[in-house]
Amino acid sequence: MPRESPAGVMTAVDSPENILFTSTTHAFLQKEASLRHVRELHASGKSFDSNWWRRAAELGWTGLLVPEELGGGSISGNGVQDLAAVAEQLGRTVAPGPLYPVSTVLAGLVDSADRHAHAGLIESLISGQVVASWAVCEPKRQWAPLDPTVTATPTGNGYRIRGAKDRVEAAAQSAMLLVVARCGPNDSGVRQFLVPTDAQGVRITGQQSIDLVKQYARVDFDDVAVADSAAVGSATETAALVDRQSQIAQVLQCAEAVGIVQTVFDFTVQWALDRHTFGRPLASYQALKHKFADMKMWVEACRATTIAAVAEVAARSPEAGRLASTAKSYVGEMAGQIVQSCVQLHGGIGVTWEHDLHLYLRRVTLYRAMFGTPEEHNLRVYEAQRAAK
């Protein structure tokens, strides 16, 4: 079982406020979202409990990216780093909950020029009373958030949205979707629209997920009518908004993966210390020492790469996109290898349903494919480097 340590690595816990926030988040997850709770949710066919999510929102998770004028605020003054610290803690118990879909929607809303027009939705999301998700991925297509096939056709007093999105997290539990669509003259522009999930023409179909509690869905839009006020941001700022939302999603997943690999590595080392063969601990054998040394290096590299990306995204640096892609590429590839190595080191018990290893392996395997694969982000880093020359 993972060691229970509230210390995080995504933000410095050097003030009473940060220490209290991190320890409270850790204690809440250990009590209310433990591995046992994850298994119970899976057995009941649920993704997360809405009352649990409201209690999580009360801890401040949902307001970290939102300015104080709109009801939010962060503990350290750096909302992205605080949110990454929460994500890291989520990884320790592969906790459920719509943290990423809600956070990416809020990132788009609060950064848009018309943020005050959406103040009511922002308030509902912060309170946890409402869940919303970002509809950006499309069926049988690679990660291309600014090249959607879903269309939004102007009607004079609004838009009609047509097409399909898939891999929409918590779509069935969401009241609202933020949909990326192509619109404008000759389909030349890209905009984002708030679409209620109960609107006429919206059809949500669940998709199978490798994770026990992360649920996704395909969403079809059959001439769904929305008002002009449903648009989020102007046409000129949409690209920047989508890039920002992408970066937030990517670094949060990397931060959670760091929490996963650190936890799995720690309890695998402890297992090797406790397990004896021929009168000595398994961890004392040189071959295993070398393996653990390699894995420790990989874990630290995942951590360092993620911390660098979080810092750049938090600072809104021109390098934020490249660093987020670098982290997503490296962590997306290495996290699975680290957990797979831990499975092998556990021997036969590591591949059983009863052991917790597969819960962690499922989560990192899922995240490898979400918001761009390592291969796709390798190309993005290469293109960014070539453009900089």
Q: What is the pLDDT of residue 1?
A: 43
Taking the C-alpha atoms of residue 54 and residue 382, their distance in angstroms, rounded to an integer, is 42
Q: What is the pLDDT of residue 8?
A: 55
3-state secondary structure of 181: strand
Q: Where does a domain end: 217, 233, 249?
A: 233
- The CATH number covering residue 269 comes to 1.20.140.10
Q: Where does a domain end: 90, 105, 130?
A: 130
Residues 311 and 293 in one domain: yes
Residues 276 and 317 in one domain: yes
| Contact status, residue 41 vs residue 116, Cβ threshold 8 Å | no
Residues 154 and 215 in one domain: yes
**Count of domains in the chain?**
3
Position 10 in a domain? no
Q: Which residues pair with 132 in a beta bridge?
A: 176
Position 80 in a domain? yes
List, for residues 118-153, the tens digit of each pLDDT value. 999 999 999 999 999 999 999 999 999 999 999 999
- The CATH number covering residue 211 comes to 2.40.110.10
Residues 155 and 293 in one domain: no
Residues 278 and 249 in one domain: yes
Q: What is the pLDDT of residue 347?
A: 87
Q: What is the pLDDT of residue 17?
A: 78
Please list the ranges in the chain whose pLDDT falls under 70: 1-14, 184-188
Position 105 in a domain? yes
Q: Where does a domain end: 233, 253, 272?
A: 233
**Model-level pTM?**
0.93
- The CATH number covering residue 81 comes to 1.10.540.10
Distance of CA 131 to CAs 53, 114, 121, 126, Å? 9, 20, 10, 9
Taking the C-alpha atoms of residue 369 and residue 35, their distance in angstroms, rounded to an integer, is 23
Position 5 in a domain? no
Domain containing 215 equals 133-233
Position 7 in a domain? no
CA geometry: angle 96, 143, 154, nearest 5 deg: 100
Residues 146 and 206 in one domain: yes
Q: What is the pLDDT of residue 4?
A: 46
Q: Which residues pair with 162 in a beta bridge?
A: 151
Residues 265 and 375 in one domain: yes
List, for residues 39-63, the tens digit of each pLDDT value. 999 999 999 999 999 999 999 999 9
